[in-house]
Structures are given as structure tokens and as C-alpha cells.
Chain A
Amino acid sequence: MSSRPSFYITRLENWVDLPSSLGTLGAQILAGGTDLVPNLTWELASPTMLVDVMGISELREITIDAEGRWVIGAAVTLSDILHHPVLGAHYPMLVAAVHAVATPEIRAQATLGGNLCVDTRCRFRNQPPIWRSGLDPCFKSDGNRCYAAPKSRECVAILSSDTAPVLIALGAEVAVGGPELRWVEVEALYSGDGHDHLTLGPQEFVRAVRLPRVSPAGVFRKWRDRATMDFPEVDVAVAATLDEGVPRDIRIVVSAVGPAPVRISAAEVLLDSSPWTDAQLERASVMAREAVHPYDNGQLGVIGRQLAVRSLVLDALTALRAALMETGGEQNDLGGRDSREKGQPR
């Protein structure tokens, strides 16, 4: 029997009751539990009450709102998304990311909201208790040091959500439930501090994810040790919409290199204003590598992950360019905003 700390489980059937339950000291949401239960077993979490939300039917629905946008409840399982008859055809990049999460058994249990909120990880913390007993507590364990980044003043543990970068690239929004409902961009869900990595208030929770009515073209790439099961060492999601042959709304997101996904704004601006030549895609990938600073807290080392960022961004952008050209680009290289505005051939 594990030395898992004791807690109560409260099962809810109406989300209206959720804020007050979460207001209880030491309360935490239990959805699929695929991340939480291992953390309990390894004594990495010590809630006094778990609020089981899997009985709340509103959180388990995939619907289309009045404006034709898909809304996925936070407690919809990842395998429900994979098995949905229509969703995959509209949002192939989301399905690719969901399919890249863990294993079939875990996807049958894990939820979309849980994947977005999954606790940050670090190789100096996500270890059995006896392993950790040799180290003084780090920031994430309420201590005052970071083993991965000794000069850091805050926790740099990694966000391992595969769906987060994709939903950011898609421009999806999250319904944050609580005393008041608010809609935020997925990007705004993350604080950047690995210790307390979500911006949710104490009584707030992720209620649903709303996808844009029309999905931009997108490509997702995940780099990990093994081809299955593993958490990401680097995730990359890129997306763009073709407007009269010119890519617009370009989003380049790199994740699993820190406590929050990173938008590579400089590369987005570059590709918004210039043709998508091989050289420009290469420049964008270098910008991505320079914009992220992974620490030695994953499984595959700092240099490897830096190189992977560049390689994955280049690969993803090249694939995105091919996809865009298939749907409407006319020439070998897609034109940027400048070329169109100046009347140059694309």
C-alpha cells in the first residue's frame, strides 16, 4: 500500500457547485487523474479534498455554439476527441497533438482540460520520494532553490501539455469557470512560473475550449525519447491562414521548453512580411532557437533540445508551406504582405 496522503473525494454532477467546492482549503479537481494520481503516489501533491468532475455532463460535451464554433468540454477525454466522427476532419492538427499524448490507455482516461492544466514537470522533482530525499526541496516543493537553473529565482519546470501549443496556434479560447465566467486566449492560461503555472484563481477552473469557426492550416511536431508514451522534450505548432495567396495570422509556438508555451513573435513578423523562401524559413527557425532557453530539466539535455527547436520549427514551417500551397498558393514560394502590397509577383 502506498503512503499516499489521505484525502476525501467529492463527486459533483453540476458545474455550478464547482467554485464553492474549489474554495475549500486544500481542494483540487480530479478529472482523468492520469497526472494527479501518479503525483499523489509519489507524494508530489497533498490535497485534502478531490473534486471529481467526471459526472458533470456539461463538461463532457462536444457542441457547436450559435456562431458555428466547436466547443469541447474540459472533461471530454482525449480518446473521445480522437473518436469524434467530424472533429478530426476540421482540426487535424488538434487530433495530431491529442494522438501524441501518452498511450491509448491514458488517452481513454485523460481529459482535454487536464492536458491543458497538467502540472509542470522536472527531472529533479518528478521522482520517487526516496530519490528526492537526497535533495533539499526546490521551488516547486516549496523550497528555495532550483537544481535545473541554480541562478533562477523561480521554478523553471516544464509544461508538458501537447494540446496547449496547438490550441494557441489555432487561436482557441478557454472558458474559465468560477464565480464569473470569462473567456481567455489559451496563451493567457499560463503564468510562466513553474511552481504556480496557471493563472486560474482559487475558485476557477477550465470549463471548455472553443475552437475558431474555420481552422487555419497547421502543423504539429513533437520530439521525445521514444515514439510513444513519453512527455515532449520539444513541441512545435505552426499555423497560418491563406488570404488571396498570402499567409496571414501566422502563429509559431514552441512548448515543453519551460513553464509556458512561447510564441516566436519575431519569426511570425518575419514570415508575415516576406516570401516563404527556404532561406526565410531557415531564418525563422534560428529565431525560434534563439527565443527559447531550455534548462537541463528534461530527459534529453539542453543542446539537444535547442537544436530540436530549430529543426522542428523548420520542418513544421516547410510542411505548412506545402500545405498552404496545396490549398491556394500559386508559386513555389508563398508571398508575404510586403510583396502583395508593393504589387510584386508572388
Chain B
Amino acid sequence: MAGTLLQLTVNGHPQTVWIQDKTTLLEVLRDGLGFTGTKNGCAVGQCGTCTVWIDGVSRLSCITLARTVEGRTVTTVEGLADWWRERHPEDVYHPLQSAFVAEGAVQCGFCTPGMTMAGAALLQEIPHPDREEIREALGGHLCRCTGYEQIIRAVAAVGDRGKEDVR
């Protein structure tokens, strides 16, 4: 078995994990480090619920081999609120998390971690996205409760705040 020590930063904290070369980032996060907020839906890059940020970019952890993120910074849904609070100490949650609640964008909740990470990444890049931009950004995310409309509304609601850019 090809094994190695992997060092990476997850949600602001340095972590060292013993992994095999065949281990995916999703397996490291869920099975190695206990960040089970990141979900394992299809395991082959077709559903989007394993989405995390790698160095701030939205990526699928199920099709990312852990060895390839050596030394990188990973943010999971557990770290999203902390990441936001560092920039906006007055808030408790990322505004998109609050908007998901306000808009009823959560049913079973399985797609929610991926949807929020992708939506928050979009709001970083485009603070006031239009509907098409939201649909494009969430295009790789399946919601089998079919609650897409509320999810799109939640992202749009944050974009519509207008007071400040969501960065």
C-alpha cells in the first residue's frame, strides 16, 4: 500500500493525516478528519454535494486525490461561517446560510453543503449575480427534492442586498 503523510489546512487549522495515494480528499475530510458536513453523494463527480473550496475555488472533493492538495487550504461547509466571520465579525453565519433558511431552500439537506459552497463562491466572484449566472454556477449540483427555485432565490436574495458586496 502506498501511503504518505498529508499536510493541509482545513477550515483554518493545519492538519496532518496518514493517507494512501488512492485516497480522495472527500475520504480524508469525512473518514479521516470527521468533517461529515461534506456529503458523499455519487462519489464520481456527478452530483456536486461534496463541493469544498480548495484555495478558495469551488471543487469536487470526491474526484480530487488527496495527494494533489498537499499544502493547500481547504474550506468545508463547517468552516464557511468562520470564514465569513473573520471578515464580518458582526455576523454569526454566512449570509447565504441565513438566506437558505429564510427562503426555505433546505428540504432533506443533502445537497445543501455543496449548494452553499458553490453559491458562496459565486457571490465572491460576482457579488450581484443574475439568475442565469446563478443557474450556471449551480449547474453541477443536484437537488433530488427538486427545490431548485428556492435555492436560486436564496443566492439571488444575498446578491440583491445591495448594501455591500458579499466578499
Chain A residues at the B interface, C-beta cutoff of 8 Å: 1-2, 4-9, 11, 30, 33-34, 37-38, 40-42, 50, 52, 54, 102-106, 108-109, 227-229
Establish whether residues B68 and A52, one from each chain, have CB atoms under 8 Å apart when the complex forms.
yes
Establish whether residues B60 and A105, one from each chain, have CB atoms under 8 Å apart when the complex forms.
yes
Closest to A44 in B: B44
Is the C-beta of B48 less than 8 angstroms from some C-beta in chain A?
A: yes
Is the C-beta of B140 less than 8 angstroms from some C-beta in chain A?
A: yes
- CB contact under 8 A between A105 and B140, given known A42-B44, A52-B68: yes
Establish whether residues A41 and B44, one from each chain, have CB atoms under 8 Å apart when the complex forms.
yes
Establish whether residues A37 and B64, one from each chain, have CB atoms under 8 Å apart when the complex forms.
yes
The contact of B63 among A7, A38, A54, by CB within 8 Å, is: A38
Residues of B within 8 A of A4 (CB): 22
- CB contact under 8 A between A105 and B118, given known A9-B65, A37-B24: yes
Closest to A55 in B: B68
Establish whether residues B45 and A8, one from each chain, have CB atoms under 8 Å apart when the complex forms.
no
Residues of B within 8 A of A11 (CB): 67
Q: How far is the CB of B52 from chain A (nearest CB, A)?
A: 10
Q: How far is the CB of B56 from chain A (nearest CB, A)?
A: 11
Establish whether residues B1 and A103, one from each chain, have CB atoms under 8 Å apart when the complex forms.
no
Residues of B within 8 A of A227 (CB): 139
Establish whether residues B44 and A104, one from each chain, have CB atoms under 8 Å apart when the complex forms.
no
Establish whether residues B58 and A5, one from each chain, have CB atoms under 8 Å apart when the complex forms.
no
Residues of A within 8 A of B27 (CB): 1-2
State A228–B118 Cα separation when bound (angstroms). 15
Residues of A within 8 A of B48 (CB): 103, 105
Which of A4, A5, A54, A105 is most buried by chain B, counting CB atoms within 10 A of its CB? A105
Residues 14-31 of chain B, each 1 if its beta carbon lies under 8 Å from chain A, else 0? 000000111010010001
Establish whether residues A7 and B58, one from each chain, have CB atoms under 8 Å apart when the complex forms.
no
- CB contact under 8 A between A2 and B43, given known A7-B21, A34-B63: yes
Closest to B46 in A: A229
Establish whether residues B2 and A38, one from each chain, have CB atoms under 8 Å apart when the complex forms.
no
The contact of A228 among B2, B67, B136, by CB within 8 Å, is: B136
Establish whether residues B2 and A7, one from each chain, have CB atoms under 8 Å apart when the complex forms.
yes
Is the C-beta of B11 less than 8 angstroms from some C-beta in chain A?
A: no
Is the C-beta of B59 less than 8 angstroms from some C-beta in chain A?
A: yes
Is the C-beta of B137 less than 8 angstroms from some C-beta in chain A?
A: yes
Can you pick out 13 interface pairs between chain A and chain B where the beta carbons lie within 8 Å of each other? A2-B43, A7-B22, A9-B2, A33-B65, A37-B44, A37-B65, A38-B45, A40-B22, A103-B139, A104-B139, A106-B140, A109-B59, A228-B140
Is the C-beta of B57 less than 8 angstroms from some C-beta in chain A?
A: yes
Residues of B within 8 A of A103 (CB): 48, 139-140
State A41–B45 Cα separation when bound (angstroms). 11
Chain B residues at the A interface, C-beta cutoff of 8 Å: 1-2, 20-22, 24, 27, 31, 43-46, 48, 51, 57-60, 62-65, 67-68, 118, 135-137, 139-140
Q: How far is the CB of A31 from chain B (nearest CB, A)?
A: 10
Establish whether residues B65 and A109, one from each chain, have CB atoms under 8 Å apart when the complex forms.
no
Q: How far is the CB of A234 from chain B (nearest CB, A)?
A: 20
Closest to A38 in B: B44
State A34–B68 Cα separation when bound (angstroms). 12
State A52–B65 Cα separation when bound (angstroms). 11
State A38–B45 Cα separation when bound (angstroms). 7
The contact of B58 among A40, A54, A104, by CB within 8 Å, is: A104
Q: How far is the CB of A221 from chain B (nearest CB, A)?
A: 18
Residues of A within 8 A of B44 (CB): 37-38, 41-42
- Starting from the known contacts A37-B44, A37-B62, 16 additional A-B residue pairs (CB-CB under 8 Å) come to A2-B22, A6-B20, A7-B2, A7-B22, A11-B67, A33-B68, A37-B24, A38-B44, A38-B45, A41-B24, A50-B21, A102-B140, A104-B118, A104-B137, A104-B140, A109-B64
Residues of A within 8 A of B118 (CB): 104-105
Establish whether residues B67 and A9, one from each chain, have CB atoms under 8 Å apart when the complex forms.
yes
Closest to A128 in B: B44
The contact of A109 among B1, B22, B63, B136, by CB within 8 Å, is: B63
Residues of B within 8 A of A104 (CB): 58, 118, 136-137, 139-140
Q: How far is the CB of A115 from chain B (nearest CB, A)?
A: 14
State A7–B1 Cα separation when bound (angstroms). 8
State A103–B51 Cα separation when bound (angstroms). 12
Q: How far is the CB of A97 from chain B (nearest CB, A)?
A: 16
Residues of A within 8 A of B62 (CB): 37, 41
